[in-house]
Structure 1
Amino acid sequence: MPSGSFRADPFGLWRDGCLHVFAEAFDYQTRLGHIDLLVYDRDLNLLECSAILSKPWHLSYPVVFEADGETWMLPEAYKSGTLTLYRAGASLSEWEPFCDIPLDGPAIDATPFFHDGKWWLFYSPSHSRIGRRGHLHVAWAGHPAGPWHLHPRNPVRVDLGSARPGGTPRHQDGMIILPVQDCRSTYGGAIRELSITRLDETSFIADDRTGVGAAGWMAPFTDGFHTLSTAGPVTLIDVKRMDATLAGKTRRLRGIVRTWRSR
């Protein structure tokens, strides 16, 4: 990555014997993210890397999934004012907007999951700082394009430590396990697993499990554990290191000033 930038929010799928990883690429100078595609062979050697989706607003959390013979991506873009579902074209580097998904406002880290014959969408609302980090909302639909129905108990969970989605859900022991972000000490400080024991159109019951922080072997990237996703036999994570040097602080400040001046 170039100086003054980082990648985060990795999600992946396998195609033609290669692992395709989609990730946010953030630039501190513009304070905007776009979506990169990194392609690896079976031995996880990097074959290519390219920017595949860029907009005038920030993009992140590019969840990719397959449904009805199509490949879909649902990147976060709440500053655009909506949540847009994209469909892949002839290759996984070609994406076109398919439809907008109207919810109760632009969604943060929207995470789709097929369960009990329906598509479920876990997300955090963007209406407030506490909502973005500590509220979990749910919606359901018969197809990823909708129409989507809001869960009557939204927010189904209010907790800075275990509400904002942070990765790929899975079925395990009769439960849905949803990775969520622990934002109590800092944004993306750790990952916890939310065990959802009941989910239907009228009810939601869940308990959080032990959190997972950045381990010592990840040094110097031990200031946060932000995403936990899976692609077949491969687990994808992102961890972070805060640059406390004068150069690092200056770079972030310049980006903030540029953002303020452009408003």
Structure 2
Amino acid sequence: MAQPAYPPVLQWWTRIEKRLYGEADDAPRGGAPARASLVVLYDGHENIEALWKTLLQCRTPHIQIVWKSPESGEMRLLAESYVAIPEKLFFLKSLRTSLQRVAVLIERAQRRLDAAASPHAFPLVNARAQPAQLSGLTSAWFALRHLGRKVLNQPLKLLVQRGHWVLAYRRTDSPVELRADSSADDDVSRNWVTLPGMPTQFHADPFLWRGKNGDYHLFFESLPYDTNRGVISHIAFDPATQKWQETPRVVLDRNYHLSYPFLFEHDGEIFMIPETCGNRTIEMYRAAAFPTEWELHKVVMRDVVAADTTLHYDGKTWWMFTSITEEGGSNWDELSIFHSDSPFGEWTAHPMNPVVSDCRLARMAGNLFKDAQGRLIRPAQNCEREYGAALTFREITELTTTTYAEQTLSVRNPPRGRQGLHTWNAVGGITVIDMKTQLRKWNPWRGAMRRA
């Protein structure tokens, strides 16, 4: 089947992108299913123009693979994804990311269809009756937005460090996680105390640990801008003086990027699983001398690009939640789970993996916890607008070795004046978060104020 042609304005813009950025337009413009009975839906439409339109409007593509009955035309949903688009103003790059996910979803759908007794075991889905229409105006507006951003970005890079993460905390009379289903935008904007940071590095991914004597330890990612490689740092909180240590101390450093220092205890010892996707591993460290000395205990998985690995023990089974990159995609938008009898044993993949394929809900944002009603809550990142834009609290309603289900309880946006919020942890009466802000590099009034 012949590939559909770009409209004239989009043809012009793709030539511009290829010339400016060396982008290749070598990917097929439409994902052709391997089986005649499988159909790809783009935002509910069967034609690829719907995907082009979504990308040109900088929206999140919703891709579904359905089985279509040759007799009745009814459709059954086999696989779907809300695809993370990291750079929304690059059409060809976004299209390639989307079509790579289409290929992955087709394989996923075929496996599920082969394993099922009948296509009718899958839920019904309805396609839109009319094909999507793409106007030249949509393409032209996208081009203007891209060029305008390109012009503005140059002076902004000199003035502002974008994506600068800082840590904040607050004390509460009761654990804040007990209010996970509250309408929390006002709640999240109040009473936060920002921890001192440094303009030369950002701090993110805070995890709290409470010792047996009641003292608190905060572990987090530090990323110096001159190396662009994260390390794990630590500061302590003294309940007697109600003060944090002023200077963080690096406690774990490797020649690859580290972040997200998830902590857990087993048989009286403390362990850490930092994110080590830059090394294509999931690594577990043991505290040789808590909190400052850590030694490699085990490599849990190799040759895998996994982000924000988080363990949960339900009293019988150990569960591992992690976001794994597949076929060149992003690790923002899919969540897989594994189970084991021991955190040091072999991990078995869940048959429904990935259990979530949605950039608004997938990537982990902190420890799982139970609220006052006994519900198991999973904090998740909402990366639809951009990476770490907001938080979503999901109630896990079903978690077995063969089934998984969850539902949204609440969404929390960053406090006013901040651009992102992507980690939330609470221990005892302290809650910690990280917030994305813009760090001013140069202040034209600073010199004048000093001379006054």
- TM (norm. structure 1) is 0.87
* Distance in 1 separating the partners of 2:327 and 2:390: 21
1:242, distance to aligned residue in structure 2 (A) = 2.9
Do residues 208 (structure 1) and 208 (structure 2) align?
no
| Counterpart in the other structure of 1:45 | 243
Change (3 A) 1:210 1:129: farther
- 8 Å contact kept, 2:335–2:357: yes
Structure number having the greater strand percentage = 1
SS of 2:230's partner is strand
| Counterpart in the other structure of 2:227 | 30
- 8 Å contact kept, 1:34–1:55: yes
* Distance in 2 separating the partners of 1:203 and 1:87: 32
195-204 or 173-182, which moves further after superposition? Answer: 173-182
Consecutive unaligned residues of structure 1, counting only runs of 5 or more, are 249-263
* Distance in 2 separating the partners of 1:182 and 1:46: 30
| Counterpart in the other structure of 1:141 | 340
* Distance in 2 separating the partners of 1:133 and 1:44: 36
1:36, distance to aligned residue in structure 2 (A) = 0.3
- 8 Å contact kept, 2:388–2:420: yes
Can you list the C-alpha shifts for 1:78-132, whole angstroms capped at 9, x where unaligned? Answer: 0111010001113211100000112782321001111141111111003366540
| Counterpart in the other structure of 2:310 | 111
- 8 Å contact kept, 1:11–1:231: no
Change (3 A) 1:125 1:223: same
Letter in 2 for 1:93: T
Can you list the C-alpha shifts for 1:38-80, whole angstroms capped at 9, x where unaligned? Answer: 1110154123631000011100000111122110100001011
SS of 1:209's partner is strand
Letter in 2 for 1:206: E
1:4, distance to aligned residue in structure 2 (A) = 2.5
| Counterpart in the other structure of 1:185 | 385
1:246, distance to aligned residue in structure 2 (A) = 6.9
1:215, distance to aligned residue in structure 2 (A) = 2.0
Can you list the C-alpha shifts for 1:138-180, whole angstroms capped at 9, x where unaligned? Answer: 0111221121111111000111101100011112334320000
Do residues 225 (structure 1) and 413 (structure 2) align?
no
* Distance in 1 separating the partners of 2:357 and 2:375: 20
Q: CA RMSD in A?
A: 1.9
Do residues 71 (structure 1) and 251 (structure 2) align?
no
| Counterpart in the other structure of 2:214 | 17
Structure number having the greater helix percentage = 2
* Distance in 2 separating the partners of 1:204 and 1:104: 26
1:21, distance to aligned residue in structure 2 (A) = 0.3
SS of 2:216's partner is strand
- Indicate the percent of aligned positions where both proteins have the same amino acid: 32
Alignment of 1:94-109 (within 5 A): 94-102=293-301, 105-109=304-308
| Counterpart in the other structure of 2:97 | none
SS of 2:285's partner is strand
* Distance in 2 separating the partners of 1:247 and 1:28: 16
- TM (norm. structure 2) is 0.51
- 8 Å contact kept, 2:219–2:235: yes
* Distance in 1 separating the partners of 2:242 and 2:318: 31
229-238 or 185-194, which moves further after superposition? Answer: 229-238
| Counterpart in the other structure of 2:364 | 165
96-105 or 109-118, which moves further after superposition? Answer: 96-105
SS of 2:332's partner is helix
* Distance in 2 separating the partners of 1:88 and 1:102: 20
| Counterpart in the other structure of 2:288 | 89
* Distance in 2 separating the partners of 1:91 and 1:109: 22
Letter in 2 for 1:26: L
| Counterpart in the other structure of 2:131 | none
Change (3 A) 1:79 1:104: closer
SS of 1:185's partner is coil
| Counterpart in the other structure of 2:16 | none
Change (3 A) 1:237 1:144: same
- 8 Å contact kept, 2:394–2:410: no
- 8 Å contact kept, 1:174–1:197: no
- 8 Å contact kept, 1:103–1:148: no
SS of 1:101's partner is strand
* Distance in 2 separating the partners of 1:106 and 1:122: 13
- 8 Å contact kept, 1:6–1:27: yes
Letter in 1 for 2:425: S
